[in-house]
Structure 1
């Protein structure tokens, strides 16, 4: 249940993670060979420091929008359903956790000219051929010709809207990305229309419009005060535009049904089935009346809004708090959950009647799981973030192949001492962010992951992740 991000200080990133088997922890003494750093296992000796292996990434950029952000969402855009060529442009919305309640805002931002380079899995040189993108903002220290696909550094364009209290979680409607819902630590759920701000960003040219000093005052479309406590759980239906559920720390879930373009009918009678705080909510990707919830009580519940206010199914999912869940949009029988004890599990919902629906369980992380999300492009792949300052990417279809591993080591000529006890499904480990809180895939840029932490955002594209082309359609702003 670890969620707080009340840390206004910005820490400059000094190290980043790396591709499995190719990261490095190097000493200032040139005679010491590089090796992969394992958090919780390895210790830095005097004179040693962590260094990023740039060959592990197709792109890697860091930036911040002011105060730390506990939650954000990636906005669907009209720039193309599948974008594979650099430079890239992305739109996001994020809510702050400021030092004072009155200083909070929602940031609507655009990052353009995200440059990068597709890399070979087996580098031609010992240190790879890439750029060091270790920067506090969106700036790169390398010449853009080194990483290709653009001219100059990424450009951040930002507009801010005042928000009463810290933003616990924020989500954009899939069908209408300019409509966003925010959970405030004041106990209110609000729905906003950021259409004018998005239009301003869309129409802006390549000049940075850092709106750091300008905070727009805007009234929300709806401000719901029916919850008895603050909360973190909220989700828009991917199938019914405007349908929303919100859950609070007092175990209550409220259903929102759209009445028009700017009004909602909110059921005052909550769904109650958990005995403790509702931590996360996820609508089914295929059933318009079905959603899932998880709770501090250790349970995951499946609900059908046509069947009353009690869950259709309740599962004891973890021994500790269940912090986050994600429902696979490409394999709708699969639901993943992450726990406070650092473990995460994958369940096949078709096996619920048989009792044991767990098809995979991992205990790699030793600190609470803070975010988990299935890839929108590959059914077997998911991203996980943890309080251990690691962002990991997993491919459940992978199995250990000793012959293939031997061949890879021969090709790389043992350039890095890779650990041998990592799970074969662990595809990528990214480090360097402090107190990771949330991770999202970009639904229109295969392989792109964005994460938020106490010291800002990262945009990364691991070089060993080749995504299939998505079959779903895109909405326009």
Structure 2
């Protein structure tokens, strides 16, 4: 995970940085065979002459009687009267990563599995991003949706990178239901709608950019007081803090966005720390101590930042206990001064920021994974930490027995590639999501148990009952985040762009 992705150099970037937003068709949910689409009407086939004794022979018996000829045409003869037989579609099969497709099978998106699914892209890929909390209210369920996002690009040339502040609006349901009082059944049917009606249902993406020198390894947003701040980890070994008040405000006004685009005076970092011994990926804002921040680098060191008026004081003495690159950091959501870290050294450590840096690691879980521990996330409601590693395993740890105990849950065989993102749901304490280098986002519910009397489908015998949903269609997925104000809605980013989606079972 500590290695960056090489991304093809994007086209010349203009100040607007407006990407595309459209209804999604990039997720793979079902398997269909070509024979369903070609040469098969989907009608019942009762012709024993065709499929019985002759099997695959190239010469088939011709129907001789009138009844046989009608049956061959799909007409059922009953009491001397004929009627066209009804089409009986073959049942779809759910696809899981690792399944081998048979000859003639292909993957298609089952959009009925989503409440909403849309894609949006920027000129350069943003392989790290964060969701900006807004003033539109909590627990939003009415459509269309609006979301504010900030991402950091990874371009081949250092000078071509940007922080992109985005507003995604007019996000409608992908599959409106007739019973939904937010979107009527008439609105769910595109037939009879003129072009203006169709265009009114398309999502809109507005963006304001800030030049950034160097690829952005990771980016995290936080409000400190009333200031919207973004922290960026640069491939050049620097960590910078940016005040994005101006570009964020500009997204809500046509006049302001035009003024911002024309302006040559773009935001500059309000603070930059150059004390790390190399580049890194791990960073996190404390939610219990405003403005307190932590960063970890590929040289195994962690620095704690403490706010000082409009700046920060960074202790030059790093917290050091890991023996390899620090891959992720998470502050405790409930306890001040406590944070966790994970590393390429296969360990997860719990730290006390008040202690001396060389003695700050209070609890250590050695060999938490079989290889690099890439990501961790602290449950906001229960004493659990989730972790994902290069061994493709998702593990859940109970902090009450963390140092000596084993994981309380482990899912080792679902992801077929290293796990690169993990996050607990902000609304359901037993639900979390993972993203992996196998190009899938998975949603899990640890509260679900298999019914011993339930007969599982043969193809699903190896599927853990806690696996609730699999989202695919993006290539080289890097991060996934729950929207904190829109329950059940996620945003994921990859080399091929962003997806915003809400499964029907979320």
Superposition TM-score tier, normalisation by shorter sequence: 0.7 to 0.9
> Does residue 224 in structure 1 map to residue 273 in structure 2?
yes
Superposed CA offset, 1:416-443 (max 9, x none)? x962320000000001000110000000
Ranked by relative contact order (alpha carbons within 8 Å, sequence separation 6 or more), the top structure is 1
Deviation of the 1:400 alpha carbon = 1.0
Q: Distance in 1 between matches of 2:198 and 2:140?
A: 13
Determine the structure 2 residue equivalent to 1:464: 505
Deviation of the 1:337 alpha carbon = 0.7
2:30 to 24, 31, 34: 24
1:42 to 95, 100, 103: 100
Determine the structure 2 residue equivalent to 1:318: 369
Q: Distance in 1 between matches of 2:172 and 2:299?
A: 45
> Does residue 97 in structure 1 map to residue 144 in structure 2?
no
Determine the structure 2 residue equivalent to 1:286: 334
Deviation of the 1:144 alpha carbon = 8.8
- Check conservation: 1:324, 1:337, Cα contact below 8 A: yes
The count of corresponding residues between Structure 1 and Structure 2 is: 429
Determine the structure 1 residue equivalent to 2:232: 182
Determine the structure 2 residue equivalent to 1:239: 288
Q: Distance in 2 between matches of 1:28 and 1:211?
A: 51
- Check conservation: 2:24, 2:117, Cα contact below 8 A: no
Determine the structure 2 residue equivalent to 1:384: 434
Greater radius of gyration (CA): 2
Q: What is the TM-score when the length of structure 2 is the normalising length?
A: 0.78
- Check conservation: 1:159, 1:210, Cα contact below 8 A: no
Secondary structure of 2:251's counterpart equals helix
Deviation of the 1:370 alpha carbon = 0.6
Q: Distance in 2 between matches of 1:61 and 1:372?
A: 21
Secondary structure of 2:139's counterpart equals coil
Q: Distance in 2 between matches of 1:362 and 1:182?
A: 32
Is the alpha carbon distance of 1:64 and 1:228 closer, same or farther for their aligned partners in structure 2, counting shifts above 3 Å?
same
1:250 to 291, 294, 299: 299
Q: Which of 36-45 and 299-308 deviates more?
A: 36-45
Secondary structure of 1:102's counterpart equals helix
> Does residue 445 in structure 1 map to residue 445 in structure 2?
no
> Does residue 192 in structure 1 map to residue 242 in structure 2?
yes
Q: Distance in 1 between matches of 2:229 and 2:138?
A: 20
- Check conservation: 2:229, 2:244, Cα contact below 8 A: yes
- Check conservation: 2:154, 2:215, Cα contact below 8 A: yes
Determine the structure 1 residue equivalent to 2:200: 151
2:214 to 152, 160, 165: 165
Q: Which of 448-457 and 357-366 deviates more?
A: 357-366
Query: Which runs of no fewer than 5 residues in structure 1 stay unpaired?
Result: 121-128, 133-140, 410-416, 466-477
- Check conservation: 2:112, 2:175, Cα contact below 8 A: no
Deviation of the 1:352 alpha carbon = 2.6
1:305 to 344, 353, 368: 353
Q: Distance in 2 between matches of 1:271 and 1:284?
A: 17
Determine the structure 1 residue equivalent to 2:388: 338
Q: Distance in 2 between matches of 1:289 and 1:81?
A: 28
Q: Distance in 2 between matches of 1:348 and 1:16?
A: 36
Q: Distance in 1 between matches of 2:264 and 2:410?
A: 45
Within 5 A, what are the aligned runs for 1:397-436? 397-401=447-451, 419-436=460-477
Superposed CA offset, 1:373-424 (max 9, x none)? 0000000000100000010000000011265678xx9xxxxxxx96232000
Deviation of the 1:42 alpha carbon = 1.9
Q: Distance in 2 between matches of 1:149 and 1:442?
A: 26
Q: Distance in 1 between matches of 2:336 and 2:435?
A: 28
Is the alpha carbon distance of 1:144 and 1:396 closer, same or farther for their aligned partners in structure 2, counting shifts above 3 Å?
farther
- Check conservation: 1:338, 1:369, Cα contact below 8 A: yes
